[in-house]
């Protein structure tokens, strides 16, 4: 009975291509199920792994080649152990006991307590460019996860149009900072994607096995542009309830952070944790780092409803 439940969960998660055949194509930011129309169109970004049917086994670039359910969990365990062994693959979210007000003209002093991570290299961990340095900080409260990007740039390339609330689909076709957040690493094909541009446009997506959909997280954002120092800063307040229905501050999430900059190819595709794909591809969950929540209140703490 337990084995049936485990197999069913893995099938639902898209881990057994003999039940669902999925093709990830060059030039696609998302994926499509073969034989059926895609639920959404795809921008010209990213390269993803190809899943093929095998009679008794399956293979992905994320987990390798496995022939049994136990091997799958062994592979996932190895990934987690490698993350734990390398502190450079962890970002820490610092607790605040109140909600923050995002203002582009005023930087909240609480950000001083957040430990930044910094990246300057491309998606393969190569071509370091300090002039495009990106810092990411995270704070968390009872109701929100707060993200802050500080981005150095050469030149800005942004859309001029968006929806009235600032949402802009295909935002990745211009300059953006991106956060991929995975509250439940055991469901490797499922995570949340957040993007923000230097002029304040945004998009949030729910990524899952076989497609994507709008997340409608209710995020708030604040943008500050300093042309003299060639930096732009974005702060996001993401409702915790849009990320997980049962937040546990002792749990370890997985996450990765990215930048895209440039008017034409080859553009700059920067990553905190390298995905090491032949072509730019951010959608590699096995490459995500760890997100740990620090300064949690007493164990009796529960989020407000």
Do 96 and 79 share a structural domain? no
Q: Is residue 62 part of a domain?
A: yes
Q: What pLDDT does residue 76 have?
A: 52
Work out the average pLDDT over 1-14: 45
CA dist 174 and 253 (Å) reads 28
Work out the average pLDDT over 218-222: 98
Work out the average pLDDT over 235-256: 97
At 170, the pLDDT band (50, 70, 90 cuts) reads very high
Q: 196-208 b/e with 16+ CB inside 10 Å = b?
A: bbbbbbbbbbbbb
At 282, the pLDDT band (50, 70, 90 cuts) reads very high
Residue 198 has pLDDT above 80, yes or no: yes
Do 257 and 209 share a structural domain? yes
The predicted-structure confidence for 11-57, as pLDDT tens digits, reads as follows: 445 444 433 333 333 333 433 332 333 333 333 343 333 222 223 33
CA dist 198 and 164 (Å) reads 17
Q: Which domain holds residue 200?
A: 87-294
Q: What pLDDT does residue 284 have?
A: 98
Q: What pLDDT does residue 61 have?
A: 37
Do 48 and 149 share a structural domain? no
Do 215 and 132 share a structural domain? yes
205 phi and psi, to 5 degrees? -135, 145
Q: Is residue 299 part of a domain?
A: no
Quick one: which of 120, 291, 121, 262 has its CA closest to 192?
Answer: 291
Do 99 and 65 share a structural domain? no
The predicted-structure confidence for 76-91, as pLDDT tens digits, reads as follows: 555 555 566 688 999 9
At 185, the pLDDT band (50, 70, 90 cuts) reads very high
Q: What pLDDT does residue 240 have?
A: 98
CA dist 47 and 25 (Å) reads 6
Q: What percentage of the chain reaches a pLDDT higher than 90?
A: 66
Do 93 and 78 share a structural domain? no
Do 95 and 79 share a structural domain? no
Do 79 and 115 share a structural domain? no
Q: What percentage of the chain reaches a pLDDT higher than 70?
A: 69
- Of the residues 34, 50, 84, which one is the last residue of a structural domain? 84
Residue 280 has pLDDT above 70, yes or no: yes
Do 21 and 35 share a structural domain? yes
The predicted-structure confidence for 99-113, as pLDDT tens digits, reads as follows: 999 998 888 999 999
Q: What pLDDT does residue 17 have?
A: 41
Q: 216-252 b/e with 16+ CB inside 10 Å = b?
A: ebebbbbbbbeeeeebbbbbbbbebbbbbeebebeee
Which string of DSSP letters, residue by residue, matches 131-173?
A: GG-EEEEEEE-SSEEEEEEEEE-S-----S---TTSB-TTGGG
At 64, the pLDDT band (50, 70, 90 cuts) reads very low
Q: What pLDDT does residue 106 have?
A: 87
Work out the average pLDDT over 189-218: 97
pTM for the structure as a whole: 0.74
Do 96 and 69 share a structural domain? no
Q: What pLDDT does residue 305 have?
A: 47
Quick one: which of 25, 24, 29, 23 has its CA closest to 170?
Answer: 29
Tally the domains of the chain: 2
Q: What pLDDT does residue 63 have?
A: 35
Question: Residue 227 gets which letter from DSSP?
Answer: T
Question: Residue 58 gets which letter from DSSP?
Answer: E
Quick one: which of 85, 46, 62, 86 has its CA closest to 14?
Answer: 62
Do 234 and 118 share a structural domain? yes
């Amino acid at each position: 009975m337990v084995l049936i439940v485990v197999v069913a969960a893995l099938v639902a998660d898209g881990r057994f291509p003999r039940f669902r055949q999925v093709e990830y194509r060059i030039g696609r930011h998302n994926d499509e199920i073969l034989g059926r129309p895609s639920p959404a169109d795809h921008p010209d970004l990213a390269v993803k792994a190809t899943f093929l049917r095998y009679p008794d086994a399956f293979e992905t670039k994320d987990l390798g080649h496995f022939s049994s359910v136990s091997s799958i969990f062994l592979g996932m365990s190895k990934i987690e152990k490698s993350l734990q062994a390398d502190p450079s693959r962890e970002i820490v979210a610092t607790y605040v006991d109140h909600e923050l007000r995002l203002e582009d003209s005023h930087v909240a002093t609480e950000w001083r307590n957040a430990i930044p991570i910094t990246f300057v290299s491309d998606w393969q961990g190569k071509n370091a460019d300090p002039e495009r340095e990106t810092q990411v900080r995270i704070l968390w409260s009872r109701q929100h996860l707060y993200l802050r990007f500080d981005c150095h740039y050469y030149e800005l390339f942004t859309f001029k149009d968006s929806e009235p609330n600032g949402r802009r689909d295909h935002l990745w076709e211009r300059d953006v900072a991106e956060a991929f957040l995975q509250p439940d690493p055991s469901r490797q094909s499922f995570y949340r994607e957040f993007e923000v541009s230097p002029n304040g446009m945004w998009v949030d997506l729910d990524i899952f096995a076989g497609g994507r959909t709008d997340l409608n997280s209710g995020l708030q954002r604040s943008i500050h542009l300093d042309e003299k120092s060639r930096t732009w800063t974005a702060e996001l307040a993401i409702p915790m309830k849009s990320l997980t229905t049962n937040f546990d501050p002792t749990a370890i999430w997985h996450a990765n952070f990215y930048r895209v900059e440039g008017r034409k190819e080859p553009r700059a595709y920067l990553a905190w944790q390298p995905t090491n794909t032949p072509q730019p591809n951010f959608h590699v969950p096995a490459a995500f780092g760890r997100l740990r929540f620090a300064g949690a209140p007493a164990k009796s703490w529960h989020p407000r409803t």
